Amino acid sequence: MVFLGVDPGLQYSGFGVAKKEGPRILLLDFGYLYMPSTKSIPERIEIFYNHFVTLVQKHQVKTVILETPFLGKNAQNFLKLGYLRGILYLIANQRQLKIIEFTPRQVKLALTGHGGASKEQVARVVQKLFPKLTVPKKADVTDALAVTLCGVWKSNQL
């Protein structure tokens, strides 16, 4: 089964695509989508939609994994993040994909054994699990890979 984990953002959206083959997890693709702030919100949403539709088709994704959002200091950013999450729900619905969500605490706990782990600790675990992986320049990528791994590991329990 192929999983797509996404860390959506209006400028940078991290993603990871992994395939589960028995006990093995193969990392098929990862990176981030850059959407320039010079583009309007509708333009960025279209870029986001096109990118993730292409990834889903290319890798024959069956499950989309997201981290539940939390309301930080900026309610406008929270609202705009909802647009991108809605797009992922739309893509999942259009293609009959399963969509699962985990809280940030659940993701950190699954990867590090500690729900209050830092982003750096999570990134180190991702690096240890995939030693050939070049350290991503964006935390969005390691965040997305962490979400992906959490979904793959927990898929048997769902």
Q: Which residues are identified as catalytic?
A: 7, 67, 140
Place of tokens 């992986």: 133
Measured CA to CA, the distance from residue 34 to residue 22 in angstroms comes to: 33
CA of 81: how far to CAs of 122, 135, 155, 158, in Å? 22, 25, 25, 26
User: DSSP E strands: which ranges in 1-71?
Assistant: 2-7, 12-21, 24-34, 63-67
Q: 21 with 29: CB under 8 angstroms?
A: no
